[in-house]
Amino acid sequence: MRTRLIISGGHIVSKSLPFVNRVLPLGCRGCQIRSHLKRHFSFQSSPEKPYYITTPIFYVNAAPHVGHLFTIVITDILKRWQELQGKKALFLTGTDEHGLKVQRAAAKAGVDPKSFCDKGAAIFKELAKKAEISNDYFIRTTDKDHSDAVQYAWFMLQEKGLIYASKHEGWYSVTDEAFYPRSGVQLYLDPPTGRKMMTSIETGGEVEWSSELNYHFRLSAFREPLLQFYKDNPTWISPEHRMNDVVQAVKGGLEDLSVSRPTERLSWGIRVPGDETQTIYVWLDALLNYTTKVGYPWQPGDEHLGGWPADCHVIGKDIVRFHCIYWPAFLMALGLPLPKKILSHGHWTLGGSKMSKSTGKVVDPFHAIDRFGPDVMRFFLAYDAALPGDSSYDNARIITRYNDILYGKLGNLVSRVTRSQRWNVRGAVQRVGNLPAEEWADSRFYNNSLDSVAAKVEAAFEECDPRKALHIIVDLVRGTNTFLQDSKPWEKALSYASGEPGDEVDRIVYLAAESLRMSGIMLQPYMPKKATILLDQLGVEPSRRTFQYCRPGVDLEYGVPMVDLGKGKQGVLFPPLASNE
């Protein structure tokens, strides 16, 4: 078949002769799919595109571990940050339910694949609920709407002459659902068993030789368009070193991609339109979920109504190739806008090894949340995660973070400021809160901490680095404790003026309260429940908990607690950890 490819606006448009490898004419099937999709997808007009962020969809062949929890927590934090700034934000997560390893896992469990997937999807939904995740969508690749949209996308690729039938031979990894070239595999000796096997150099997944007739996508035609896109968008992938790896991989050349499997080998999946003997490759099926849940296929120019293009895909480093080479090529082929950002994070390790369902080295996220609570786990994962590299999971470190930061610094600061009998937060806000900025010119704490922290946090989020932002907030809390300890307002409070401890004490208490108010606002994406309690204790009105109020002096209405602060342990934001276990 002769195909002429034209580059236009970063996309590839195909002018091709009739598809000679087609098994059945697909024109009628394409019309049927279009008609069905028009009935299922409709969005009301919106003046601007909402912010749209996604996690990868997770395989249901085994239970989730803390690595999955980390991915959805980081994504949730980024989504909530957008909402904190007053923007409409949409968050998609879900489950990847097709493919050979799911088919084999279901057979091993002795149940049909759909029942197996129903159970697996329910577990991931429960994890999201338990972790206080604010996802707007939960997609399953077994959803009928998704299946129809995938078949429509296949039809469009085929009509453009970008799919052809051919024999394919290579090393196939069931774990990765991917073929690897000879240069991408190695002989490996498994120490526990002494068994020799071929494995992927990239992922370590076992591979097996496969030879079959299937369909191929003309990935090789997209080498130059991809390289041009990377050149035009040098910060598209974060961190930078993974962007460099992707560029080098594409420069080295791209082979056409096998995008179907014989049905006799893989029956659990979406059928190729017009060819019941072939099942669509699970990664083509899975990657399209990001578009199908927000309305693909759209009327031309309407993709922004549901949120496309995605503002950020959050993924693990082991699936960079699929998201940063295959996915943009598929989108270019379909004439769709590419996502704006790929945030690739490292793995969580346990005892120095990557958490893996296959090895059994995992941390049960349900047990961790039950033990420490969702807010504490969210805080720990965000605070300790080294986004560019791997991070080590350790219960002892969680306890240390809790005792040092949450209980020892933040919780203690809240109690000292709000529960003292020698001063009153509301009185301090009323008496000195409306002082002009020049009145604080001599205050190092005001100028070096309060007046600059919001901009620093915002800059960190613009870099897609919620860990850096959290460390800035924690530094503010630490600094406020030091400021309060050095200022010693309890020694300066006047005893003869009931309810009025004096101007100097009012200034100290007000600055400490402002630090807590701003910290509480910025901690909402990280610890939704605890941040809400903190702001309730300070008496901050719900309408004044957005980022626009995260500057000193912009809210003078707070100071009367909305909850009973109580005595002793009652009303304490972070009680001693023993009471949580």
Within this chain, do residues 497 and 348 fall inside the same structural domain, yes or no? no
Q: Rounded distance, CA 553 to CA 451, Å?
A: 10
pLDDT tops 80 at residue 152: yes
Q: List Cβ neighbours of 243 (8 Å cut-off, separation of 6 or more).
A: 230, 234, 235, 236, 237
Total domains present in the chain: 2
Q: Region 529-553: what's the mean pLDDT?
A: 97
Are the C-beta atoms of 37 and 299 separated by less than 8 Å?
A: no
Q: How far is CA 429 from CA 143, 309, 333, 416, 553, in A?
A: 54, 45, 59, 16, 9
| pLDDT tens digits along 500-539 | 899 999 999 999 999 999 999 999 999 999 999 999 999 9
| Tens of pLDDT, residues 470-481 | 999 999 999 999
β partners of residue 549: none
**Same domain as 541, residue 433:** yes
Residue 355 has pLDDT above 80, yes or no: no
Residue 365 lies in a domain: yes
H helix and E strand count, the chain: 22, 21
Judge if 293 and 438 occupy the same domain: no
> Measured between alpha carbons, how far is 408 from 519 in angstroms, rounded to an integer?
16
Better-scored residue on pLDDT, 184 or 461: 461
- Angle subtended at Cα 316 by Cα 131 and Cα 49, rounded to the nearest 5 degrees: 75
Q: What is the domain range of residue 535?
A: 398-580
Residue 214: which of 152, 284, 119 has the closest Cα? 284
Would you say residue 171 lies in a domain?
Answer: no
Question: Do 282 and 406 belong together in one domain?
Answer: no
- 38's enclosing H/E stretch is helix 27-40
Q: Kindly report, residue by residue over 201-260, the tens digit of the pLDDT.
A: 777 778 777 767 899 999 999 999 999 999 999 999 999 999 999 999 999 999 999 999
Residue 498: pLDDT above 70?
no
- Say yes or no: 344 and 423 in one domain: no
308 domain residue, yes or no: yes
For the chain, what's the residue count? 581
Tokens of 143: 């959803």
Return d(Cα 450, Cα 445) in angstroms, integer. 7
Query: Which segments within 473-526 are labelled E, that is strand?
Result: none
Residue 25 lies in a domain: no
Average pLDDT of span 55-63:
94
Choose between 174 and 393: higher pLDDT: 393
Token pair for 295: 């309305």
CATH for 488 = 1.10.730.10
Label residues 514-540 b or e (16+ Cβ within 10 Å = b).
bbbbbbbbbbbbbbbebbbbbbebbbb
Could you give the CA distance from residue 135 to residue 457 in angstroms, rounded to a whole number? 23
Does residue 359 sit in the same domain as residue 405? no
| Tokens 């390289």 -> residue | 227
Tokens 């002082």 sit on residue = 435
> Is residue 541 one of the residues assigned to a domain?
yes
> Parallel, antiparallel, or unpaired: how do β-strands 348-350 and 391-392 relate?
parallel
* Residue 488 tokens, joined: 């010693």
How far is Cα 412 from Cα 370, in angstroms, rounded to an integer? 24
> Is residue 156 located within the same domain as residue 51?
yes
Q: Where are the beta strands (DSSP E) in 281-397?
A: 312-316, 342-345, 348-350, 353-354, 391-392
Q: What is the CA radius of gyration of the chain?
A: 27
Q: Is residue 292 part of a domain?
A: yes
Q: Mean of the pLDDT values across residues 52-66? A: 95
198 has which bridge partners?
187
Residues 6 or more apart in contact with residue 238 via CB below 8 angstroms: 341, 342, 343, 344, 387, 463, 464
pLDDT in tens, 75-112: 999 999 999 999 999 999 999 999 988 999 999 999 99
Cis peptide before 528 (omega within 30 of 0): no
Strand partners, 20: none
CA 518, chain centre distance (Å): 25
Neighbours of 276 (CB within 10 A): 11
Whether residue 422 is found in the same domain as residue 323? no
Instruction: Indicate the Cα dihedral angle 144, 145, 147, 150, nearest 10°.
Output: 180
Q: Dihedral (C-alpha) 169, 173, 177, 180: value to the nearest 10 degrees? A: -50
Determine the pLDDT at residue 130: 98
* Total Cβ atoms within 10 A of residue 426: 17
Same structural domain for residues 350 and 431?
no
Q: How far apart are CA 170 and CA 180, in angstroms?
A: 6
* CA separation for the pair 411, 521 (Å, rounded): 15
d(CA 27, CA 339): 30
Examine the domain organization and report whether 50 and 150 are in the same domain: yes
Determine the 3-state secondary structure of 512 from DSSP.
Answer: helix
Q: Which residues pair with 165 in a beta bridge?
A: 215
Least confidently predicted of 125-134, 199-208, 351-360: 351-360
Q: Across residues 309-329, what is the average pLDDT?
A: 97
CB under 8 Å, gap of 24 or more: what pairs does 394-403 form? 398/372, 399/577, 402/372, 402/376, 402/574, 402/577, 403/577
Tokens of 172: 């196939």
* Cα atoms found within 13 Å of the Cα of residue 264, Cβ hemisphere only: 3
With a cut of 80, say whether residue 183 has pLDDT above it. no
Scored b (16 or more CB within 10 A) or e, 158-184 reads bbbbbbbbeebebbbbbbbbbbbeeeb
Ranges assigned E (strand) in 341-481: 342-345, 348-350, 353-354, 391-392
Measured distance CA(225)–CA(222) in Å, rounded: 5
Q: Any residues with CB less than 8 A from the CB of 34 and at least 6 apart, and which?
A: 152, 297
**37 assigned to some structural domain:** yes
Q: Does the structure show a pLDDT above 70 at 23?
A: no
Peptide bond into 576 cis (omega under 30): no
- What's the whole-number average pLDDT of the chain? 88
Q: Is the pLDDT of residue 135 over 80?
A: yes
Domain boundary among 324, 352, 369: 369
Single-letter residue type at 29: R
User: Residues near 455 by Cβ (< 8 Å), separated by ≥ 6?
Assistant: none
Q: In what order do the strands lie in the sheet with 271-272?
A: 260-262, 275-280, 271-272
Evaluate whether residue 193 is within a structural domain.
no
Task: Over range 16-23, report the average pLDDT.
Answer: 33
**The one-letter amino acid at 282:** V
Share of the chain above pLDDT 90, in %: 73
Pair 426, 317 in one domain: no
Same domain, 364 and 462: no
Place of tokens 């979406």: 270
Q: Could you read off the pLDDT of 445-465 as tens digits, one per residue?
A: 999 999 999 999 999 999 999
Q: Which CATH number covers residue 46? A: 3.40.50.620
